Amino acid sequence: MDALFEPLASALGASVDQIKLIFCLLVAYPLGSLFVRVPSSKPALRHLFNVSVAVIFFFPVLKIYSAFFQLLASILATYYIAKYDKSKQMPWRVFFIVMGHLTVNHIIRALNNQSYETVEVTGPQMVLTMKLTTFAWNVYDGRRPSDELDKWQSSKRITTYPSLLSFLGYSFYFPGLLVGPYLDFAEYTELVHESVFKQPDVKSQHKSGRMLPPGRKRAAYMKMIMGLAYLGAFVVLGGSWNFSTALKPEFAKMSFIRRFLLFQTYGPLERSKYYAIWTLTEGASILTGLGFTGFSASTKQPQWNGAANVIVSQIELPSNFKVLLDSWNMKTNVWLRECVYKRVAPKGKKPGNRVTAITFFTSALWHGIAAGYYLAFFMGALITSSARLARQSLRPLFLAPSPYANLKPLYDFLATLTSLAILNYAAAPFILSTWSDSIKLYRVLGWYGHGVVVGALVVFYLGGLRWLKGVQRSLGVAPAATTGGGAKQNGNGKAGSGASTPIEEKNMVVPAALDNLIAPPS
């Protein structure tokens, strides 16, 4: 089929592999409309549909034959290990096997010096790794007493082991096969059986003769238009406006202010390619029925936000770094939180720096072995600590009843500018990938990101944090003191246990930086 793609690749100045990938993402749209026409009363046919599309993608289109069989090997190994290994170590065995397999392929990719333009096994394997490890933990949770589980674990646990065909259908779910979104087995089962659409409050909104709520196609094709717009921006401008441009001699000759301002324009264009592929796959997923989140309380219109992996507006115009973190690569954030962070955290104790470090290392290893990844994640750990302390100590000074509450818009504006400048600085090594290029970029930018982040940490830990807490108390905006019983104020203003509990699981996202915000996927 290369003869179909080569002329287009030549005309656009892109690689044939890139054109093939975009073709697969776009052809998933009509395939999604076909998928929903397979009766939900025949789930086996829906599973076979997913597997068949995967075979077409991997064989005649992408021609990555060995990749298919490697993924199949990981799938079968996970299926039978999770089925027959009833020990507490089962999820970790699956985790180390599939992560180890992925790491070997990352090493092979690096040895072959393959660029991001090459489509090979590691892209879909990264998505599959999240699926398989999540499945193993869901099976493990299904064998545990329900009173030991938190809300997420209870809703995702698997108590009846699935058939091999259904597991293959889940593993090869075609809209997310190549670049995501990742979904868990419970979501896939609901999708195949359309169980969420059979609930009374949803059925009442159906059009006559239709199982799916209205608005699905409109939401999906709007995502396709947005995805193509992001892709167009990258194709037209990304070639000359990117982080590599900052390594050219003429860039270094500019004044620092000009270098700083020009560099900030490169970030959105570098990220546009990720916005493109994630938005395109989100739309195709919506066409299959994935992502329905109920009806709007105000407009009563159906909402299709559950398949989103990115919220572009909150990344490019964040009110603070936490909002930015929460809006980037959201599905991977969930995986890191549920399958790494919470699983290595000591039971009944507040997770510490060791847990955070393990989570960051796992995310970096999942992405690959390039030195730039680890520079980016090390910077990410520093950013997370600094941003959390700034939010705790500075933000309350601009909230009512503080006399400086009228300056909150200015605080938000400065927080947005700072977040974006730090994001662009931290993300660049991931894109450049090599140690030498990353250090060269740091130098030409005057190490401004390290100066801001490390400088803030030094100030906070050398008395600044204590002083700001005193200012908070003097202004009457300090958080409520911890009670003798160990209760503390949680994010909802209600008392909670001093130890980390399932109720507080959402709060774990902040200290762990469960986000490859700064590290886009390969």
User: Any idea which residues carry the catalytic annotation?
Assistant: 367
At 306, the amino acid letter reads G
At 181, the amino acid letter reads P
Cβ contacts of 202 within 8 Å, gap of 6 or more? 196, 213, 292, 294
**Among 100, 131, 22, 118, which Cα is nearest to 64's?**
118
What is the Cα–Cα distance from 452 to 47, expressed in whole angstroms? 51
Instruction: Taking the CA atoms of 411, 413, 416 and 419 in sequence, report the sign of the dihedral they define.
Output: negative
Cβ of 371: how many Cβ atoms within 10 Å?
Answer: 16
Compute CA distances 64 → 115, 180, 285, 511, whole Å: 16, 18, 23, 39
What is the Cα–Cα distance from 259 to 231, expressed in whole angstroms? 26
If you search the block for the tokens 């299959």, which residue do you land on? Answer: 288
What is the Cα–Cα distance from 407 to 400, expressed in whole angstroms? 11
Q: What are residue 295's phi and psi, to 5 degrees?
A: -110, 145
CA atoms within 13 A on the CB side of 130: 28
Token pair for residue 358? 């393990």
**Among 366, 298, 373, which Cα is nearest to 331's?**
366
What is the Cα–Cα distance from 209 to 189, expressed in whole angstroms? 23
Q: What are residue 127's phi and psi, to 5 degrees?
A: -65, -45
Whether 272 and 231 have beta carbons less than 8 Å apart is answered as yes
What is the Cα–Cα distance from 19 to 8, expressed in whole angstroms? 8
What is the Cα–Cα distance from 73 to 69, expressed in whole angstroms? 6
Instruction: Taking the CA atoms of 504, 510, 511 and 515 in sequence, report the sign of the dihedral they define.
Output: positive
**Among 280, 176, 180, which Cα is nearest to 230's?**
280
At 176, the amino acid letter reads G
What is the Cα–Cα distance from 245 to 239, expressed in whole angstroms? 9
Q: Decide: helix, strand or coil at residue 511.
A: helix
**What DSSP line would sit under 81-145, residue for residue?**
HHHH--STTHHHHHHHHHHHHHHHHHHHHHHTT--TTS--THHHHHHHHHHHHHHHHHHHHHTS-
Cβ contacts of 3 within 8 Å, gap of 6 or more? none
